[in-house]
Amino acid sequence: MDSKKGDLKEIDGEIANKNKDLEKINQLIIEKGEEPIQLSAGKYIIGADVPAGRYKVMPIGRGSNFITYGANGRLDVNKILGAHGEAEYIFFADDGGTIDSRSTVKLVPVE
C-alpha cells in the first residue's frame, strides 16, 4: 500500500509539472493586436478574401463546423466550434487555401 501511495505521489508531481509546461505553452499564443476578421457562413479564399497568417478562430453564436483546405485541396482543419466543440482553435491560413465555415466566426490574428 505504501508503495502505491508513493507511486501516486510521484504521478501527481509529474502531472503538476506537465500542467506548468502547458501553461507556458498557452502563453506563447499572443494576439497581434490587429482588428479581428468576422466571417459569415460561407467559403473563402485565403490570400484573396482573408490574409494568410496564423489565427485564433472563435464561434459567434452557437457555432458549427469550421474547415480549412490547403492550396493543394487537402483537408487541413476540421473542427466543431461552439457549445458542442471547441471554444477556440489556433490554425495556419496558408495562401491559396480555403476556409469553409458553416456559421459566423471571428478570426483573431496571433503570433
- The pTM is what? 0.73
Q: How far apart are CA 73 and CA 69, in angstroms?
A: 5
Write out pLDDT tens, residues 17-45: 888 777 766 666 778 889 999 999 999 99
Determine the pLDDT at residue 25. Answer: 67
Strand order in the sheet with 42-45: 42-45, 98-101, 65-69, 75-80
3-state DSSP call for residue 79? strand
What is the bridge-based pairing of β-strands 37-39 and 105-109?
A: antiparallel
**Contact call for residues 77 and 89 (beta carbons, < 8 A):** yes
